[in-house]
Structure 1
Amino acid sequence: MPRDPPPKARRPQAACPGGSGPAKLAQVKGRGVMNDSQDTAPDSRLRRDIGFTGSAFLSFNGIVGAGIFALPATLHMQFGAFSPWLFPIFGLLILLVAMPFARLAALFPQSGGPVAYTAAFGPLASFQAGWLYYLARVTALAANANVFATYAATLWAPLGFGVGRAATILALCASLTAINIVGVRRAIRALDGLTVLKGLPLIALAIWGLAATAGAWPTPGPAPSLSGVEAAALIIFYAFIGFENSVVPAGETANPGRTIPRALIATIVGTAALYFIVQLAYVSAMPAGEAPEAPLVAFASLLAGPAGALVITVAALSSIGGNIAGSLTSTPRITFALAREGLLPRWFAAVSELYHTPANSVLFMGLLGAVLALTGSFLWLAVVSTLARLFVYGTSIAALPRSEQIAGRRTTLPTFGLMSAGLIVCLWAAFQSEWASWRMLLILAAIGLALYLLAQSSSRRKPGPKKTK
């Protein structure tokens, strides 16, 4: 059974002008940043079972979800033969965002990710970052669970509607939630299998397509206009969002300062290469004017008939399942971190005595995701999901210089350069959004502010211990 953290489990607060609470996540011993052996109470109860492969698979499953199974036709219609080259270009842009995260993971080797990073701006900023990030991730889980049921219905129609659809969603969420509760090591093993199931068919399809069209590969052609790229920027950017899956459970990663940066770089470069060859193969084989609803299934059917379509359908299910599994591994560490710092009820910070995982936070996310998927109420957040993520990325990156100062490090010119490059990418992508998306983001931030103030008010009114005679 999960146990509540003992009253003294919260970390002592290091001196930091102008901030309090979670702004002290970076504790300093002497001159150095807290290392793996210096874990404080909350994270020391979690096992560091995630190595390089597990960390890379977390990022890979966060990035590769349903997007790659829908984007090829859209990009082919908009950009033609140049469309494959958009992926390495945007992969480079994402690296500019990911590298500050890698640096932050080295500074804060604890679970929490953006919650820990934005704590440099104070508890309110930390809470808002965690709040928006958590909502975006739970909504994505619910959306993907619905897509999973839709793809499952191509194998057996009753799974796509009514009781069959509900049963599919519940079974998916329940099984992946249980795997993550019984141990992060088991969750990583499940991710390993799902990654292979979705990665190998995509690679095989791309290689087969390129081989079948050898000699007919299109030249890149003229580059599209900047306005054309900007119009599709959020769509392409969304295909890479999720790389931060590996930084959130840093408290359960072995040697996170070394493991996470290597995993981030390898994953983003590898994913950009995979997207490139898939798109190149698709452009080489498929007619330019067609836009099938499931482009890669249509592509596989063209190459290998119904058997090929079946293989890609299974790959799509594995991709979506892996994305949800990765989310259930990393995202509950957000509520765990918020509760650990007193910004959410302590129930979320409970750690299973048997499995040493944040069981309550995992269970809550699984239940909430299932409810949203079954009711369809997750749609209201879908329009601002990417923008919310960009907001979290930007605020985390902006905290890098302050975080280095808190950690006792001298802020150097390369640090400011790293921060500036990441912020420029985030701002450029965010400003491709329409005002309606910004308005919804502001509403969500206001709701988060109200919850934060309510929690603070409740904490102040909490009576102290009664005196005994």
Structure 2
Amino acid sequence: MGTWALAASIVNGVVGGGIFTLPRSMAASAGPYTMLVYLGCALAMGAVVICFAEAGSRVPTSGGAYGTVEAAFGRRWAFLCGIYIWLASVLACGGIAAAFCDGIGTLTPALAGPGARIVLLLLMFGGIMTVNLLGVGLAARIIASGTVIKLIPLGLFLVVGTVAILGGHRPPESHAAPTPLDLASFGAAVQLALFAFCGMETPLAASGEVADPARTVPKATMLAMVFVPFLYIAIQLVAQGLLGPALAGSAEPLADAMGAVNPTLGLVLLFGAALSRLVWIGSDIFGAPRVLFAFGRDGLLPAVFGRVHPTWQTPYVAILFHTVLAFLLAATGTFEGLAILSTLATAGIYFLACAAALSLRRRDVAIGGRPLTFRILAPAAWVGMAAMVLLVAIGKMGDILGFVGVTVGSLALFAVMRPPRR
């Protein structure tokens, strides 16, 4: 895999189905400060990306953040990083699935009720899980073809929306007084915005399978993560320009914004959003359970997670566990709530990754060639770590306690399992 292919993979991992819902959530939480929140999160992520880029050039092995944390601090903290990666994935999967049901309910109101929602989730998760259980080849082909489907509606939205705004389209005026911004809402907006930037750690797990990884990994990471903020800000601006104050109350903001230009295009966006979410969920169930499988295989989790089906040769226990948990989360949670919880888990990944970059630089670790060295690595790492601590600190007390509980519980589990040294 070369630079552009890896960069495209990172963009695919970051730009998930949540972008079809995010503009509404951001407008409702941050209001006129939405762009400032995006820019602040982009700067924080820029610091994290610098750490990922240098650490990836120093330890260009499969595993991404997990591999660099293990090289820097050992298996205990790598295990915690892996738990964060899996937890962020399953929470995000539940959130995107919840958004998928909301979108289907908008497209077909008869499916908007709680009973229909459960049936829809069962069919969706059951179908995707079956495809993943039957073999990696079929699942990979479906995900690869679906990636193009995911990007087409976003391109259509930006082109048509921009043309409409430049052509004189104006959103309906609202005479309602703006809702005052409180600290809790602003904190939620920051967490939701960072959720939109998360995901690069998953495709970077294949760092050991790219050409000249010491150069390819950092270049691809930088290219992808420079492109993503521009894409998100452009989508937010176009949605705001088409819907105005109504954006904050829209169930399907991109589809409603397109519908304001042309009702038929609105339906196309609704359909495209549903397909995009399905592709993202399929990709998640394809990759994330392999973390549980690897831990079970290596003695870091109960051995049952390391079982492989005798016929299909897939990690069926890990896939079943991950899918059932995602189903339960989607059936009982909302996109915004699950996205925020996923972001807190990701904050743990990025904190450890920034600390690992500092440690690898201090020890001058370099595996497989001369690494990249950024003069601003130290300030970038401290900014990244401080941003992740702040991200957790502004959360609700219950969410913070849950994050602490996962951290302490994971470290305790590692101590109990006592995996053999490698």
Change (3 A) 1:134 1:290: closer
| Cα distance in structure 1, aligned partners of 2:334 and 2:25 | 27
- Tell me the residue number matched to 1:298: 256
Match of residue 74 from structure 2: 122
What amino acid sits opposite 2:82 in the alignment?
G
Q: Distance in 1 between matches of 2:105 and 2:167?
A: 37
Counterpart Cα distance in 2 of 1:185 and 1:419:
42
Quote the Cα distance in structure 1 between the aligned partners of 2:410 and 2:26: 36
Pairwise CA distance, 1:278: 1.8
- What per-residue deviation string (whole Å, max 9, x for no partner) do you get for residues 301-329 of structure 1? 10112x22211111221232232223223
Question: Aligned pairs, how many?
Answer: 400
Tell me the residue number matched to 2:175: none
Does residue 1:279 correspond to 2:236, yes or no? yes
Equivalent pair of 2:97/2:330 in contact (CA under 8 Å): yes
Would the alpha carbon gap of residues 179 and 407 (structure 1) be closer, same or farther in structure 2, given more than 3 Å must change? farther
Q: Deviations over 1:258-303 (max 9, x none)?
A: 5544443333233223223222222333334652233222211101
Between the aligned residues of both structures, percent identity stands at: 28
Shift of 1:393: 0.8
Letter in 2 for 1:142: G
Name the CA distance, whole Å, in 1 between partners of 2:409 and 2:318.
21
Letter in 1 for 2:259: S
What is the CA-CA distance between 1:108 and the residue it aligns to?
Answer: 4.2
How far, CA to CA, are the matches of 2:136 and 2:333 in structure 1? 29
Distance (whole Å) between structure 2 residues aligned to residue 66 and residue 316 of structure 1 = 7
Distance verdict in 2 for CA 1:264–1:413, change over 3 Å = closer
Contact 1:98 1:243 (C-alpha < 8 Å) held by counterparts: no
| Pair 188,145 (structure 1): closer, same or farther in 2 beyond 3 Å | same
The answer as to whether partners of 1:343 and 1:452 remain within 8 angstroms in 2 is yes
What's the counterpart of residue 273 of structure 2?
A: 316
2:104 and 2:121 map into 1 onto residues whose CA distance is 10
Query: Residue 242 of structure 1 aligns to a residue in which SS?
Result: coil
Deviation, 1:246, is 0.6
Deviations 1:126-174 (A, max 9, x none): 2222223322221221222222122222333444445533332233223
Deviations 1:47-66 (A, max 9, x none): xxx67676445433432234
TM-score, structure 2 as length reference: 0.78
> Structure 1 stretch 365-374 or stretch 200-209: which is displaced more?
365-374
Q: Is the 8 A contact 2:128 2:282 kept in 1?
A: yes
CA distance change for structure 1 residues 183 and 254 in 2, over 3 Å: closer, same or farther? farther
| Alignment correspondent of 2:408 | 446
Residue among 244, 248, 256 paired with 2:205: 248
Shift of 1:197: 2.0
SS in 2 for 1:244: coil
Q: Kindly tell me: are residues 419 and 242 of structure 1, through their superposed partners in 2, closer, same or farther at Cα, counting changes over 3 Å?
A: farther
C-alpha distance after superposition, 1:169-207 (max 9, x if no partner): 233223333444555554443333333223211221221
Q: Secondary structure at 2:249's aligned position in 1?
A: coil
Greater relative contact order structure (CA < 8 Å, 6+ sep): 2
2:106 match: secondary structure: coil
Structure 2 residues not aligned, in runs of 5+: 171-180
Higher mean alpha-carbon deviation, 333-342 vs 370-379, is at 370-379
2:373 equivalent to 1:421: no
- The residue correspondences of 1:203-218 to structure 2 (distance < 5 A) are 203-214=155-166
Q: Secondary structure at the match of 1:243?
A: coil
Look up the equivalent residue of 2:116 and give its one-letter code.
G
Of Structure 1 and Structure 2, the greater helix share is in 2
Aligned to 1:63: 14
Greater shift after overlay, 231-240 or 204-213?
231-240
Write the deviation string for residues 413-449 of structure 1: whole angstroms up to 9, x where unpaired: 9357325414413422541423613322112222223
Distance 1:167 1:435 in 2: 31
Call closer, same or farther: CA 1:415–1:280 in 2, change over 3 Å. closer
Structure with greater Cα Rg? 1
Ranges in structure 1 where 5+ consecutive residues have no aligned partner: 1-49, 219-224, 461-469
